[in-house]
Structure 1
């Protein structure tokens, strides 16, 4: 679940909530890593000749190499990673999944055209858009993590929600993902760029949820409503309401329900079957999320 424009919005409205940091400064910390997001990053990363890493049989190994070396880097810096894998996506996400399917079909057609004319740049671009993390990718990474002695969690649903639940329960310090929705789910600390290649020389971007709420003068419920207004995987945004206007509306009316009651329906068209109430309920019921650790010999990572 991505939140449209949230990173820039926080930079503009809550700058004290963001800071750049070095990986060495998280020594001794347990961090829940969004496995699917990390695997996707490794799969779209290509070598200088434009090809993926493969074994002797030609099978892609980019995801395994990525997991292995990024995990080693974290361990060398004293971090105790816990990888969290996506479970079954919620029914309310079916619309977004259908859109992604359509975009992949469009990318496939564009790729075929690019290959016909020998457009190398677009071949690479559209190949990346066709990348999808499969069940096989996940299972191979779980086997590798088990062999490395690294704990992992199979989430009942969204990995980011499970990461946030682990943070809220005090089992880990932060969520490591590029998806800003971990904040919406209540992760008090979000770390971006944690699993990026060291060669990219990008600092870790730490975002503190409590500072976000304090600086914007929002409650967590109001922040969730703001994220829904911005647009997420579960419901579209309202056309004409951008980030700045969304902040103004939540500050003025305190909830989406009151925003809708006072919104000029002639000026703003609310999407049909807008599922904002379902989205809100999904984001606020994390206390019921259960987790299961599959590598029992490493259970001390949570104690």
Structure 2
């Protein structure tokens, strides 16, 4: 599993976890084809194995679990190749057996052998099942994830599926980790107490090295330096070199180094006051780049044989020894600028060049897989010969037992021609649902688009199929399908790419239903329409329309409110003859409390007279008379309540007039 702690360092640069069909949809929109993926076989095998499987059933259940994962990718028309580990990978007993190993000796073993199989019984059975179903695989010479990264460098695949972080160290640029049915990015199955439950779809967490370099500063060469220090599956690494110290050392020479961000401690400031000459003004050197320069002649070149880019043994060892002396000097004299604190080192650091050489020049087989449309592995109807190297290359198609010799830049002879429908193997005996996206290109499959929905921003179509019709194409017994589950949901972009006619038929059916619903009868079809010769019929190809407008609207519209019609002159309502009840004057009793006894302006007779006088513009004499009356009431003295009501000795109220 490489260095497990390294995943946590890279986590800030992880992309959003997404469903597999969402990944396919995004890739098709961007590249106009489905993705091609290399699978680290042991990642799937380890995930499929668990302790609850009975020993007698283990082999068959493991085979079903691994094949289900592979076929789930094929079911979305992803081109896949399964990669197995080889005998040249170092032993996982750490340094006991690997100590003192020579890269040149291992390279000689690679060149002198042609069979790299580990002869694992289950792996051999899985290979037979893959060949039977025309699915490509590659037998790596050493590490499977190294071979996957190698295929990606050559441009054969777009992604690598692996749970091993070493895939990034070996140079893979885009890795899909945690391939599982859990929407959460968890490494293992959750406990029974957890609320996390598996979903119907598979999910992946994309890791893009472009984003990793931008967010963390860790390039591929810095990851190689970090792995050489920290150790992994095959070495314990340098002493006192944990993952944090190794990261800080690998980031020296970049803006992410602690030299530019750390705050000096009080102890360090006191030491600088005593010895100002010890003040460091220059940052630590870029150790990762210097290490790579010890081994590689051309850093940026991609070669069919990576080991041909290595320096000769004499100059390599000389530069490497000089590098180690320089590294240990800075670790003693300037370790605070490197680690952010003082670290006491009792002995010099040592790095085994064998592991660094394995990361830089992995032991891989140079027989490169090619996806041809006459295999189940291919998700495309034509062969892509593109490869990122020059010269002559051997291309293999193991499922068909064919070998092609490619002179890069010249078309390969005897390749299968471009197909009009996807290949279906005769001996296929797994679930039919994984073949629906391939069968939709077959005219006699009776597959139809019957529904539409949008999920997580991805437009999806329901493909409904008839098992009886499909059984005429696939003669082998199909695995049982749940009753009523004769449909799958796939991205619209995938159907539009390979079977646009299905979408066109769906649109025409929806429009006809809408027409019948609106006009209460079906539009009449002419003889030309029934013969398919209508001059107005659209040609096949990508259709520009909006399926959202045809999707069923789940919300029911609110009923329209009737408008109230105004009465015309001379008209009366029908209830005009009904006698209305007279209002009872005693129903509403006025409130005579003192608090509410204020006279409203409209009930004041004096205000009314005054307003009338103002409106009629009375003579000045009359106006003065009204003003005199107002002043008369204003001059009256205020009378308090206590002067009107008094309490008697026998607690009875009496009215007293002053």
TM-score (norm 1): 0.73
More helix by share: 1
1:183 Cα shift? 0.1
Q: What is the aligned partner in structure 1 of residue 148 from structure 2?
A: 163
Counterparts of 1:251-266 in structure 2 under 5 Å?
Answer: 251-252=251-252, 253-255=285-287, 257=324, 258-264=326-332
Runs of 5+ in structure 2 lacking a partner? Answer: 25-33, 98-117, 183-196, 253-284, 292-323, 333-342, 385-658
1:20 Cα shift? 1.2
CA distance in 1, matches of 2:370, 2:63: 19
CA distance in 2, matches of 1:73, 1:211: 28
Q: What is the aligned partner in structure 2 of residue 52 from structure 1?
A: 54
1:20 is aligned to 2:17 = yes
Per the alignment, do residues 288 and 70 of structure 1 end up closer, same or farther by CA in structure 2, a change over 3 Å counting?
closer
Which among 29, 34, 47 is matched to residue 41 of structure 1? Answer: 47
Q: What is the aligned partner in structure 1 of residue 73 from structure 2?
A: 74
Secondary structure, aligned partner of 1:157 = coil
1:291 is aligned to 2:367 = yes
CA distance in 1, matches of 2:131, 2:230: 39
**Number of matched pairs:** 256
Per the alignment, do residues 217 and 294 of structure 1 end up closer, same or farther by CA in structure 2, a change over 3 Å counting?
closer
Counterparts of 1:6-155 in structure 2 under 5 Å?
Answer: 6-11=6-11, 15-27=12-24, 28-43=34-49, 45-46=50-51, 50-52=52-54, 54=56, 60-91=59-90, 93=91, 95-96=93-94, 135-155=120-140
CA distance in 2, matches of 1:5, 1:269: 25
Per the alignment, do residues 54 and 173 of structure 1 end up closer, same or farther by CA in structure 2, a change over 3 Å counting?
farther
CA distance in 2, matches of 1:249, 1:53: 47
Q: What is the aligned partner in structure 1 of residue 357 from structure 2?
A: 281
CA distance in 2, matches of 1:149, 1:228: 39
CA shift digits 1:60-102 (9 cap, x unpaired): 21221012211221122332221001111334x4643969xxx
CA distance in 2, matches of 1:18, 1:173: 16
Secondary structure, aligned partner of 1:61 = helix
CA distance in 1, matches of 2:346, 2:157: 42
CA contact (8 A) 1:70 1:197 kept: no
Secondary structure, aligned partner of 2:163 = coil
Per the alignment, do residues 187 and 268 of structure 1 end up closer, same or farther by CA in structure 2, a change over 3 Å counting?
farther
RMSD in angstroms over aligned alpha carbons? 3.2
Per the alignment, do residues 97 and 217 of structure 1 end up closer, same or farther by CA in structure 2, a change over 3 Å counting?
closer
Per the alignment, do residues 217 and 279 of structure 1 end up closer, same or farther by CA in structure 2, a change over 3 Å counting?
same
Per the alignment, do residues 41 and 70 of structure 1 end up closer, same or farther by CA in structure 2, a change over 3 Å counting?
same
Larger radius of gyration: 2
CA distance in 1, matches of 2:68, 2:367: 26
Q: What is the aligned partner in structure 2 of residue 122 from structure 1?
A: none
Q: What is the aligned partner in structure 1 of residue 246 from structure 2?
A: 246
CA shift digits 1:120-162 (9 cap, x unpaired): xxxxxxxxxxxxx971111100111112221100011110000
CA distance in 2, matches of 1:287, 1:90: 8
Per the alignment, do residues 218 and 42 of structure 1 end up closer, same or farther by CA in structure 2, a change over 3 Å counting?
closer
CA distance in 1, matches of 2:55, 2:198: 18
CA distance in 1, matches of 2:92, 2:86: 14
CA distance in 2, matches of 1:294, 1:139: 21
1:300 Cα shift? 5.7
CA shift digits 1:226-281 (9 cap, x unpaired): 1222321232133332222222112224326454443349526568x742x22121
1:17 Cα shift? 4.1
